[in-house]
Amino acid sequence: MSAPTPAGLPRTVLRLHRPALIVWSAFVAALAGWQIWLNTVTSRAGERERLYCDHHETCNIIDWLDYGQRTALVAALVCYSFLGVAAWAGASLIGRELESGTAKLAWTQGVSPARWLAAKLAVPALLLTLGSTALVLIYRRGWNAHPALRDGDWTSAATFVARGPAAVAYALCALAVGTLAAFVLRRALPALGVSVAAMGALVFLMERLRPHLWPSVTRVTATEGLLTPHAWQTGAGTIRDGHRVPYHGLSPCEGNPAQVGRCADRLGIDGYYLTYHPQSHYWPLHLVETGIVLAVAALAAVLAFRRLPRRGRAVGKGSPA
C-alpha cells in the first residue's frame, strides 16, 4: 500500500475513517431530528396539557413530563458525546496507526510527521465543530421556545454545556486528549481507556469549579430573604458579630416571626446573607469555562505534536521524542 501524498492527506483521512464519519453523521442527524420532533409535535401536546391544567383541578401531564424528560436526555447526549470522541481519537484515529506501524510508513514516504498529524486532527476537528454547533443551535431553539415545559433550569450540568459553545470545546478537547493519550501509550485499547477517564475527570472538575468561575452576587437582609427566580444559589447563612456563618443544614431559626426574632436575638444573629448567580451570569460563566477547556485542548495538542519524531530522524529506531 502506497503512502498518501501531502495533498491527498485529508481525503485519505476521510476514506480511512469513513465508518466513524458515518456514525457521527448518523448521530447528529438522529439527535437533530429527535429535537425537531420534540420541539414541534411533543411540545404542542405538552402545551395543550399545561393550558388545560391551568383551568382544571385534575388533568393529564404525561406529554408535559415526556417533553421535559426527553429534552433533558437530549442535553445529556449533546453534552457528553465528547466521551465517544475521546475513545475514538485514542483508539482508532491515532492509537491503532501507531500500534500497527502505519504511521511510520507514512512518515518515511514523503509525508512529514507534523503534516500527517495536522491532517489527522484538522479533518475530524472541522466535522466535530460543524456537527456540535448544529446540535447546540437546535437545542437552544427548543430550550428558549418552551420555558414552561422544561425539566430543570439553566444550572443543571448537561443543560449548561449543551446551550453554548462549551459543547464544541469539549468535543475538540476530547479529540486532542485522545491523540495525546495515544502518543504516550502507543497502544489502542489503553489509550481508549485513559482518554475517556481523562475527559471524565475534566468534566467532573469543571462542574465543581463552575460556580466559582465568575464573581457571585451577595444579598444581605435583616430577615431571611427569598432567592431571585431562576438564580443559582451558591451559599447562604447568618451574619453574627459582623462575620458570615454559613448554614450547616437547615436554618437555625424557624417558625413564626416572633419565634424567629427571639431565636435570632438568642444566637446573636444580626442578619442573613445569600450568594448566588442570577440568570444573567450564564454567559460569563459559560464563556470562561469554554476558554479553559479550549486551553486544555490546545495544551494537549501541543504536547502531542512534541511527541512526534523530528524530520530527518530515523523513525524506526525508537519512540518519538
Shared-domain flag, residues 160 and 242: no
Domain co-membership, 137 together with 251: no
Take residue 49 and report the three cell numbers written for it. Answer: 396539557
Same domain assignment for residues 236 and 201: no
Predicted confidence (pLDDT) per residue in 21-41, tens digit = 888 999 999 999 998 888 888
Q: Based on the domain organization, do 178 and 269 belong to the same domain?
A: no
Per-residue pLDDT, 95: 81
Residues 104 and 252 in one domain: no
pLDDT of residue 320: 44
pLDDT of the residue at 166? 96
Give the model's pLDDT for residue 313.
42
Residue 289 to residue 297: CA distance in whole angstroms: 12
Same domain membership, residue 105 and residue 191: yes
Q: Are residues 290 and 169 in the same domain?
A: yes
pLDDT value of position 79? 93
Total domains, the chain: 2
State which of 262, 277, 292 marks the end of a domain.
277
- Based on the domain organization, do 182 and 267 belong to the same domain? no
19 shares a domain with 135: yes
221 occurs within a structural domain: no
Q: In what order do the strands lie in the sheet with 243-246?
A: 217-221, 269-277, 232-240, 243-246
Residue 126 grid coordinates: 472541522
Residue with cell 483521512: 13
- Pair (56, 159) in one structural domain: yes
pLDDT score recorded for residue 318: 44
Q: Which domain holds residue 268?
A: 232-277
Single pTM value for the model = 0.84
Check: CB of residue 224 under 8 Å from CB of residue 273. Answer: no
Residues 5, 314: Cα–Cα separation, whole Å: 19
Q: Are residues 10 and 101 in the same domain?
A: yes
Residue 224: inside a domain, yes or no? Answer: no
All cell numbers assigned to 250: 437547615
The residues of the chain scoring below 70 in pLDDT are 1-10, 13, 46-47, 49-50, 52, 54-57, 59-65, 106, 110, 225-226, 249-251, 254-260, 310-321
Same domain membership, residue 240 and residue 189:
no
Q: Coil, strand, or helix at residue 58?
A: coil
Contact 174, 195 (CB under 8 A): yes
| pLDDT score recorded for residue 8 | 63
pLDDT in tens, 200-213: 999 999 999 999 99
